[in-house]
Amino acid sequence: MKKSYSRVRGTSDFGPSDSARIQTLCARARRVFFLYGYEEIMLPVLEDAGVFVRGVGQETDIVAKQMFRVSRQNDGEHSDVVLRPEGTAQVIRFYLEHGFHKKGPYHKFFYIGPMFRGERPQKGRLRQFTHIGAEMIGAVTPWADAEMIQLAWTQLEILGIGEKELKVNSLGCAEDKQRFAERVREILSRQQADLCPDCRRRAERNPLRVLDCKQSDCRRVVKESVLRERVLCPKCESHFAHVLGVLDRLGIPYTQDPFLVRGLDYYTHTVFEIESPRLGAQSALGAGGRYHTLVEALGGRRCPAAGFALGVERLLLALEPAHEPPAARGVYVAAAQDSLRSEAFYLLGSLREAGIPAEMDYAHRSLKAQLRQAQKSNYRVAVILGEDESRQGVVNVKDMKSSVQKTVRKEEVRALCTELTRAEN
């Protein structure tokens, strides 16, 4: 019995229609990034594990449980290579390795590409997923925080995401965050019995992650015992108030969420998350914030930075189903007899040279079946080759939208097809 295969659990196949939606989505995102002055970079999916161990944090779920390690044999190397689980730490590695810290006071990058995490698959949570992300490295002012949030919000607006909610919080500087973490650890040590098994482990190793738990008992402990301890230093309080003031002026609605801490150790100061009610439990469309210690953790000097990432697969889930008809595809060249297929093929090449999408039949179907295929595949124009017409040096050009057919000389075909297909666009 022959074995059949299916995709790896936690990954997605995208057919032509979904692939086209993703390409449109990414093209729109690129236009917005360029508008804001961000430059695209393309980085490898393979990365040294140390980038994430040192950058993201040894005790985070990503590093402790979710990284895919790459098994290699006989290559003479012993470094620990992984499939990248997130983009920010990798961008900082790129920034340092290529000396961008010596080339200017700050830099703005964006990236689009696949990430990998060994999570338990469910709707909106995959083992391979695509991030659209941006990083601004070197800018310390509250305006940079506000631009990051505005940029993420604008991306979602341009992409057509209707219902969404922005949540913001401040973790304070590294010193504020450390003091708060120690106080949370102390409080939770007296509340162990009320915590879920994961949070009992987190309470000692990474106590701020308990704030992010969705279990009702853990949230009750946090709300009743922990959140009242949150205090920012005056400088961080002022910075965050300035960020919120800018958002108010921009007219971007938000909710302050003291539970929002993000699951990566490098975050400090402003953090944010944008959610969609259409997604259920995995409601985050994207998230980000400031990280002032990551550059230092990866071997550079301490440097302010901010960034965010949007999940492409979640964006598709949140988008309203497309109701508009698909765009017309160009020209279908139909041959009435097999003897005309050679002529059809060379005409096809001429149309493509002119930048017109064009196709023909390769299955020896009848003329009727070819025209039915042209209609089904939403071609804008059908060029029909017949023996009598070929002897006269003419062809029939059918406007598939109006069903009007016109006979023209062969040398006029390309110009007419160009006119009809451009009118559609």
- 318 or 423, which is more confident: 318
**What is residue 320's predicted lDDT score, i.e. its pLDDT?**
67
Amino acid at 384: I
- List phi, psi (to 5°) of 305: -160, 160
Find where tokens 């196709």 sit.
Answer: 359
Tokens matching residue 25 = 């989505």
* Cα angle value 314/316/317 (rounded, 5°): 65
Residue 237's nearest CA partner among 165, 151, 140, 142 is 142
**What is residue 180's predicted lDDT score, i.e. its pLDDT?**
84
Whole-prediction pTM? 0.85
Find where tokens 């000097």 sit.
Answer: 301
pLDDT tens digits along 375-408: 999 999 999 999 999 999 999 999 998 999 999 9
**What is residue 199's predicted lDDT score, i.e. its pLDDT?**
82
**What is residue 382's predicted lDDT score, i.e. its pLDDT?**
96
Listed in order, the ranges of the chain carrying CATH 3.30.930.10 are 16-172+232-318
**What is residue 239's predicted lDDT score, i.e. its pLDDT?**
96
Q: Distance between CA 310 and CA 236 in Å, rounded?
A: 26
Q: Distance between CA 336 and CA 383 in Å, rounded?
A: 11
Percent of the chain past pLDDT 90, that is, above it, reads 62
Q: Check whether 89 has a pLDDT greater than 60.
A: yes
Tell me how far apart the terminal alpha carbons of the chain are, to the nearest angstrom: 50
Q: Check whether 223 has a pLDDT greater than 90.
A: no
C-alpha distances (whole Å) from 11 to each of 68, 201, 392 are: 14, 29, 56
**What is residue 327's predicted lDDT score, i.e. its pLDDT?**
67
- List phi, psi (to 5°) of 303: -150, 130
**What is residue 127's predicted lDDT score, i.e. its pLDDT?**
93
Helix 197-205 × helix 174-188 angle, to 10°? 130
Band of pLDDT at residue 255, cut at 50, 70 and 90: very high
SS3 content of the chain, % helix, strand, coil (to 5): 45, 20, 35
**What is residue 200's predicted lDDT score, i.e. its pLDDT?**
82
Q: Check whether 326 has a pLDDT greater than 70.
A: no
Q: Are 332 and 149 in contact (CB under 8 A)?
A: no
Q: Check whether 243 has a pLDDT greater than 80.
A: yes
* SS3 state at 112: strand
- 143 or 283, which is more confident: 143
Q: If one looks up domain 16-172+232-318 in CATH, what number appears?
A: 3.30.930.10
- List phi, psi (to 5°) of 141: -70, 155
Q: Check whether 179 has a pLDDT greater than 90.
A: no
**What is residue 122's predicted lDDT score, i.e. its pLDDT?**
81
* SS3 state at 397: strand
**What is residue 229's predicted lDDT score, i.e. its pLDDT?**
61
Q: Check whether 113 has a pLDDT greater than 90.
A: yes
Mean pLDDT of 187-214: 79
Q: Check whether 101 has a pLDDT greater than 60.
A: yes
Helix 413-424 × helix 341-353 angle, to 10°? 60
Q: Are 399 and 405 in contact (CB under 8 A)?
A: yes
Residue 121's nearest CA partner among 262, 264, 8, 198 is 8
Q: Distance between CA 100 and CA 81 in Å, rounded?
A: 24
The answer to whether domain 331-424 has CATH 3.60.150.10 is: no
Q: Check whether 227 has a pLDDT greater than 80.
A: no
Listed in order, the ranges of the chain carrying CATH 3.40.50.800 are 331-424
Band of pLDDT at residue 115, cut at 50, 70 and 90: very high
